[in-house]
Amino acid sequence: MAGLMSLGLFVAAGLSLLAGFPVAFTLAGVALVFALLGMLTGTFDPSFLGAFPSRIFGIMSNETLIAVPVFVFMGVMLERSKLADQLLQALAQLMRRIPGGLGLAVMVVGALMAASTGIVGATVVTMGLLSLPTMLKNKYDPSIATGSICAAGTLGQIIPPSIVLILLADVLSNAYQQAQLQLGIFSPETISVGELFAGALLPGLSLVGLYMLYLIVMAIIRPRSMPVVERESGDGISLLNLMGLLAGPLLLIAAVLGSILLGLATPTEAAAVGATGAMLLALKQRQLSMETLRSVVYQSTRVSAMVFMILIGASLFSLVFRGFGGDEYVQSLLANLPGGEIGAMLAVMLVLFLLGFILDFIEITYVVIPIVGPVLLAMGINPVWLGVMIAINLQTSFLTPPFGFSLFYLRGVTPAEIETSAIYRGVIPFIAIQLLMLGLLSLWPALATWLPAVIYAGP
C-alpha cells in the first residue's frame, strides 16, 4: 500500500504541474494531501513531518545557497547593461569575411553571456532579441539561425559559474554523504561547488568548440545558408576596440571562476565580486541608473524567491516520499536493474531526460536527485562526473522538440513568419552534438574528473 502511495504521489504531482499549477505550491500541497491520506490509511508516520522545520532551517543556514540570489543579480545586471548587443555587433563586423562569421559571433557571445549570467531563459531570450533579426536580415537560413541561438542559450546549464551547477553541487554533496553513511563510512567526504565548476569546465568549452565546428562545416558545404555579412558604411570595428569590449566580461568571469577554483573565495564571496563587477560594467556602458538598479533588484528578488519557494516545496515533497518508503523502493528498483551500475545510470538519465520536458532544472534538482543520487553514488559513481552528466543531460532535454524549454523561450521572441518546424530542424544537429558529448563523457569520465583532481589534489 505504501508503495502505491509513493507512486501516486509522483503521478499526482506530475498531473498537477501539467495542469498549470505553480510548481512550489503544487509540490508542497500534493505532499500534504498524500501525508493526510497516509495518516488516515495508516501508511504514513506523521513524525516525518516533524523534521520539516529543521529542513527549512537548514536551507536558511546553508552558506552555499546564499550565492544563488547574488549570482542572479549579477546575471540580470549584465543582461540590462546591453553588453551583449555591443559584443555581438563588434564580433559580427570583425568576423564578417569568415564563412558563417555571424553565426560564430552569436555562439561566442552566447557562451560569454551563459558564463556570465548562468540563466538559460534569460540568455535565450536576450540572444533571440539581439541576434535573430540581424541573422535573418543577412539572409541566414532560419533553421540555422534559431538552432544556433537555442544552443548558445542553453550553455548556461554547463558553463560555470552556473546556477544549475551551484544547486547541483549542494544536492549532490548531501547525497554523497548519505551514500557514504549507508556504506558504513562515518567520516564522509563532500564535494564543493568549486569541484563541480572545475568538472564542468572542459566539457562546457568542448561543447562550444563542437558547436562552432559544426557552424564552420555548414558554412563551407552550404554557403547560401550562412552568407558572408556585407559591411555597411561607418560600422567598422578595430581589434583594439573589440578587446576593450571583451576585457570586461572576461575579467569578470576570470575573477569569479578563478577565485572559486583556486580556493581564494567561497561561492558566495565570488558571487559578490561578480555582482559588483557587473554593476561596474553597466556603469561603463552608461546603463546604470537608480531606475535600472531598482528593476534589477526587483527581478532578482522574483527569481530568487521562486527558487527558494520551489526548494521548500521540494523538501516537503521528498520528506513525504521518504515517509512512504519511496526511497527504498527506488533503491531496490535501481539495484535490481540488469546491467548493474551501467543499467541504473542509463535508467536514471532517461528518466531525467523525460522529466526535463515538464520540469525545470530546479524542480528536478531538488525533487529527483535527492532520491536517485544516494543510490547511484553508493554504487561507486564519481559525484563530480554524475553532476556533469546530469547537467548536460538536462541541457539536451531543454533543446529537444517538441517540449524543450529553450524552444518555448525562443518561440516567444521569434517573428510569426518563422515556422516552429524550422526551429525544431535547427536544434537537431546541436542535440546530436550534446549526445556525442554525453557519449564521450561516458567513455572517458576523466573529461570531467581530471581537472578537479588536479586543482583539489591533496599535498
Residue 23 lies in a domain: no
Q: Write the secondary structure of the chain as one string of H (helix), E (strand) and C (coil).
A: CHHHHHHHHHHHHHHHHHCCCCHHHHHHHHHHHHHHHHHHHCCCCHHHHHHHHHHHHHHHCCCHHHHHHHHHHHHHHHHHCCHHHHHHHHHHHHCCCCCCHHHHHHHHHHHHHHHHHCCHHHHHHHHHHHHHHHHHHCCCCHHHHHHHHHHHHHHHHCCCCCHHHHHHHHHHHHHHHHHHHHCCCCCCCCCCHHHHHHHHHHHHHHHHHHHHHHHHHHHHHCHHHCCCCCCCCCCCCCHHHHHHHHHHHHHHHHHHHHHHHCCCCCHHHHHHHHHHHHHHHHHHCCCCCHHHHHHHHHHHHHHHHHHHHHHHHHHHHHHHHHHCCHHHHHHHHHHCCCCHHHHHHHHHHHHHHHHCCCCCHHHHHHHHHHHHHHHHHHCCCCHHHHHHHHHHHHHHHHHCCCCCHHHHHHHCCCCCCCCHHHHHHHHHHHHHHHHHHHHHHHHCCHHHHHHHHHHCCCC
Residue 16 lies in a domain: no
Confidence of residue 234 (pLDDT cuts 50, 70, 90): very low
Residue 186 lies in a domain: yes
Residue 105 lies in a domain: yes
pLDDT in tens, 146-156: 899 888 888 87
Residue 164 lies in a domain: yes
Residue 244 lies in a domain: yes
Count of domains forming the chain: 1
Domain span including residue 293: 45-455
Q: pTM (2 decimals)?
A: 0.82
**What value does the mean pLDDT of the chain take?**
82
The yes-or-no verdict on residue 59 having pLDDT over 90 is: no
pLDDT of residue 239: 67
Residue 381 lies in a domain: yes
Least confident of 114-123, 167-176, 349-358: 114-123
The yes-or-no verdict on residue 236 having pLDDT over 60 is: no
pLDDT in tens, 412-457: 778 888 888 888 898 999 999 999 999 999 999 999 999 998 888 7
| Number of other residues whose CB lies within 10 A of the CB of residue 184 | 6
User: What's the mean pLDDT in 90-104?
Assistant: 78
Confidence of residue 119 (pLDDT cuts 50, 70, 90): low
Task: Report percent pLDDT > 90 for the chain.
Answer: 12
pLDDT of residue 230: 65
pLDDT of residue 388: 93
Residue 25 lies in a domain: no
pLDDT in tens, 253-295: 788 888 888 878 888 888 888 888 888 888 887 878 888 889 8
